Amino acid sequence: MPGSVELSLVIPVYNERDNLAPLLEEIAAALRGASYEVVAVDDGSTDGSLPELKRLRAAHPGLRVVAFERNAGQTAALAAGFRAARGAILVTLDADLQNDPADIPALVAALGDRRASAVAGYRVERRDTAWKRLQSRIANGVRNWLNGESIRDTGCSLKAFRAEAVRGLPLFNGMHRFLPTLVKMHGGRVAELPVRHRPRRSGRTKYGMWNRAWRALVDAFAVRWMQRRALKYHVTEEWP
């Protein structure tokens, strides 16, 4: 439940040790003066990310760490982070430094300005290889086509949510890509905002053709089933 902080950053971490210290420094600079916490969920890292997170707590007292016994995937990490977060507003971002923390204040402001339940970032001037951009474009198109959506960049992790809009969502493996669609299914309003994108400095990407395009197709069919089977009703009266 919301506690003493206004904003919770939920960050899945899987083998990103060398990116963690600069990421936390950038977050501190971007949110100076704000009431926030960072909930880092270590998803079974094998490169020393968890000991690094524990070490960084000395310099960043607002850092909270959730650790998995073994790798469970990005959706599981987000679900655990949502459960642990205390803020009324939740922001998700990757730990690889490709999302720019300087975009967070604009996303949070847009929640109020646009009266939205969620604000999804879409990456401009993608700093990835042409092959990776093509995979992402195909996967994004497949998801939108199957789910009747028009989200510009379903793969962008940088998003802001009102806590009540996501805590009750049904989450299964792969559902992190469909959070805006799930929010809409439950009556929420989703806005979009351009965000920056940066090249990866260190570490290795966790996604390739198999878990991007193919998994996008499988997961989109699952969401399509959920959309068709979702309960739809409007109560007009209730007595007494």
Q: Percent of the chain having pLDDT more than 70? A: 82
DSSP string, 134-198: HHHHHHHHHHHHHHT---S-TT---EEEEHHHHTT----TTGGGGHHHHHHHTT--EEEEEE-B-
Domain residue ranges of the chain, discontinuous segments joined by +: 7-229
- Is 60 exceeded by the pLDDT of residue 2? no
Q: What is the dotted CATH code of the domain comprising 7-229?
A: 3.90.550.10
pLDDT over 90 percentage in the chain? 58
Mean of per-residue pLDDT scores for the chain? 87
What pLDDT, on the 0 to 100 scale, is given for residue 163?
96
pLDDT tens-digit readout, 183-239: 998 889 999 999 998 988 776 765 555 555 667 777 777 777 777 777 777 788 887
Distance CA 31, CA 7 (A): 10
Give the confidence band of 147 by pLDDT, cuts at 50, 70, 90. Answer: low
Which tens digits make up the pLDDT trace of 14-30? 999 999 999 999 999 99
Residue 1, pLDDT score? 44
